[in-house]
Structure 1
Amino acid sequence: MILEVWPCIFQIQELEDRYGGWLSPQIREDFAYYASICFKHYGDRVKYWVTLNEPNVVAIRGYRSGIYPPARCSATFGNCTSGDSEREPFIAAHNMILAHAAAVNLYRAKYHGEKKGSIGIAMNTVWYEPVSNSSQDKQAAQRAQSFYMNWFLDPIMFGKYPEEMENILGSLLPEFSDDRLQNGLDFIGINHYTSFYVKDCLYSTCVQGPCISKTEGYYLRTATKNNIPIGEPTEVDWIYVYPEGMEKMVTYLKNRYNNTPMFITENGFGEMHQPDSSINSFLNDDKRAEYMKSYLDALISAIRYVTQTFGYTHMYIYTCA
């Protein structure tokens, strides 16, 4: 059994009202207390623990765009009553990372000897393909990974933020002083659905569309190259069928994080909710079957050539209303 301690569940209104939720260092202690209760009462059955599910999405959508609770953002980033999109995502992320570390250190010190389980974190992952072979676009693809996924995994594994983030953000990034962060997980959970192209906006001019800001990494994310999508579009506007992205994502994580064990904690095909659909249309789901076959084939290739330790725990039918 895998049990996820989700930040969206833990982000209860009481803590938001009392001290600002993830914007306060106090949440680290409360999160560890909450985790301890879970370890104590479920540890005899749960052998794989996920402390936080998609904390990168929580930081970005909760504190930059404001479309998730607690709905904080600056006026240029979204429609919120309060917030600072250039600063608060990094404060919230910093506290999530240290809350994760507190839970991991507690489990290893107090519960692992008896419970014999493993503990990790689940990240939303997107494979970013450089739109060209230019060095600028390749660097932009690396920045995209650093500002999206490595933002959390680098501190947990190496005790510091990615170099790309430090170079661009400087003092906007909080500092770590706790060396217990390093090697702060037993496995990486991978939530992977899709991939995008990336074009540089730091060293070159983007003419295809709006570049994202300094605090997001200075790149243009696009689903098309020469008007051709990176993969077959689905009914969900951000999900494209690009199974190569699964293999490349796993290879990237293996190389960057020293072959740390990995689980695919989410993966699935995207479609819109269709209340009038018949049972036959649900049963004859050829596109979903092909999606799963192609992504599992890519995963098998990654397991064969890339890593020795792997798991696949969730297949989602990603349906939007």
Structure 2
Amino acid sequence: METWPLILIIDTRSATLCDYVPLGCAPSFRGSIWRLPKLQNCVSVYLMADFQDFANLCFERFGDRVKHWITLNEPWTFAVTSYDYGTTAPGRCSTWRNNNCTGGDSATEPYIVTHYQILAHAAAANLYRTKYKVDSKTRLILQKIIMYMDPLVFGDYSRLMKSLIGARLPRFTAEQSNLVKGSLDFLGLNYYTANYAAHVTSFENDVVNVSYTTDNRANLTTSLNGVPIGEKAGSDWLYVYPQGIKETLLYIKKNYKNPIVYITENGIDEINNSSLTLKQALTDNFRIRYYNRHLANVVEAIKEGVNVKGFFAWAIMDNFEWDSGFTSRFGLNYVDFTGGLKRYPKLSAKWLTNFLKK
């Protein structure tokens, strides 16, 4: 087996966990398909075995300190950006979508990858439950969006997906359906923003240029009649719409048997502006407003019966964002990228600390 990126630094990861646990932290672990040595295996059954091996190593080496396992982080992002848009590794898609793609089929591969990601998660969950004897304080999930929920809750794709995608959608065998169904202990929800959606009938009649995107039969926008859906953040895709997190949570409660939910990512960024003084950079009242409004909506959802058990702010500190590098700052703590990476708490970090003490 080829060397995995995580294995190369496994001692460092282990040492980091040892540092944090005595401080009262409860580490959560997120896996990712991008850690696989051969990304082409993601369109084949080999993904299950490869990912199970990877998960087994992580359970074995970190299991005494990690109590929450997120098997796959943002599986939708991997399936769609890598196999429909072709903008992330391994850069596969139909040529009409992106001339730079190295092969692929946007009409089928996003669904094949999704299918094998679900099976890979289920295999890892089964391994953990049978070999490592999961206890009542240990939880294992696939971090997912709604497209993944029907198989994991009911054992199969929804009738709507089957109707829209037809023969291009892979099918579960009876054995696979039993493996997948109920293979999550809680749902991890990443929520940042929302879009307006308009039905696009032209997609229904195009049988040549077919992709995951056209299958949605929708045009997503951030404004309606020239009015933005909310205040714009630093990133072009992020507009503030706090009520959307409540709407999503209520949808999950209604349609998927009210599972335990953790908000695994929620946050807002600003553009990295080197002309600001340190004092100015630490004054992020817009981030305080963002968290205050989103957490208020989460509380409202809880009062209406949604089973939310935890919340992760993105991010604890300014970091390297995959799409924007160091040009975007999501952190509660400011990082001086040119001055030895020294950290300084922003106003939002102090606000959130006080909020959590209440």
> Could you say which TM-score interval applies, normalised by the shorter chain?
0.7 to 0.9
Separation in 2 of the partners of 1:6 and 1:214? Answer: 23
| Aligned CA distance change for structure 1 residues 94 and 204 (closer, same or farther; 3 Å) | closer
| Aligned CA distance change for structure 1 residues 204 and 173 (closer, same or farther; 3 Å) | closer
More strand by share: 1
When structure 1 is superposed on structure 2, of 53-62 and 251-260 the one drifting more is 251-260
Asked if 1:89 is matched to 2:89, the reply is: no
**Structure-1 residue corresponding to 2:58:** 38
- Contact residue 246 and residue 295 of structure 1 kept, 8 A: yes
- Name the SS for the 2:248 alignment partner: helix
- Contact residue 47 and residue 115 of structure 1 kept, 8 A: no
Unmatched 5+ stretches in structure 1: 124-148, 206-210
Runs of 4 or more off by more than 6 Å in structure 1?
A: 211-214
Counterpart mapping for 1:164-313 below 5 A:
164-177=160-173, 178=176, 179-202=178-201, 215-313=214-312
Asked if 1:152 is matched to 2:148, the reply is: yes
TM-score (norm 2): 0.75
Q: Highest relative contact order (Cα 8 Å, sep 6+), 1 or 2?
A: 1
Separation in 1 of the partners of 2:211 and 2:105? Answer: 16
Q: Which amino acid aligns with 2:231?
A: E
Q: Which amino acid aligns with 2:36?
A: Q
**Structure-1 residue corresponding to 2:42:** 22
**Structure-2 residue corresponding to 1:136:** none
Which structure: larger Rg?
Answer: 2
| Aligned CA distance change for structure 1 residues 262 and 270 (closer, same or farther; 3 Å) | same
Count of aligned pairs: 285
When structure 1 is superposed on structure 2, of 221-230 and 191-200 the one drifting more is 221-230
Unmatched 5+ stretches in structure 2: 1-26, 205-209, 328-358
- Contact residue 44 and residue 115 of structure 1 kept, 8 A: no
The CA deviation at 1:47 is 0.8
- Contact residue 43 and residue 115 of structure 1 kept, 8 A: no
- Contact residue 165 and residue 217 of structure 1 kept, 8 A: no
Separation in 1 of the partners of 2:289 and 2:134? Answer: 43
Per-residue CA distance 1:39-73 (angstroms, 9 max, x = gap): 12211111110000000000000011011100111
- Name the SS for the 2:77 alignment partner: helix
Asked if 1:11 is matched to 2:36, the reply is: yes
Separation in 2 of the partners of 1:91 and 1:248? Answer: 29
| Aligned CA distance change for structure 1 residues 294 and 232 (closer, same or farther; 3 Å) | same
Q: Which amino acid aligns with 2:115?
A: H
The CA deviation at 1:270 is 2.4
The CA deviation at 1:215 is 4.8
Per-residue CA distance 1:161-202 (angstroms, 9 max, x = gap): 122211111000000011221111001111110001111124
Coordinate RMSD, CA, aligned: 2.2
TM-score (norm 1): 0.83
Separation in 2 of the partners of 1:214 and 1:250? Answer: 24
Per-residue CA distance 1:236-290 (angstroms, 9 max, x = gap): 1110111000111111112221111011111101222223332112221111111
Q: Which amino acid aligns with 1:97?
A: I
- Contact residue 169 and residue 215 of structure 1 kept, 8 A: no
| Aligned CA distance change for structure 1 residues 151 and 77 (closer, same or farther; 3 Å) | same
- Name the SS for the 1:45 alignment partner: coil
Percent of pairs with identical residues: 34
Separation in 1 of the partners of 2:137 and 2:113? Answer: 31
- Name the SS for the 1:46 alignment partner: coil
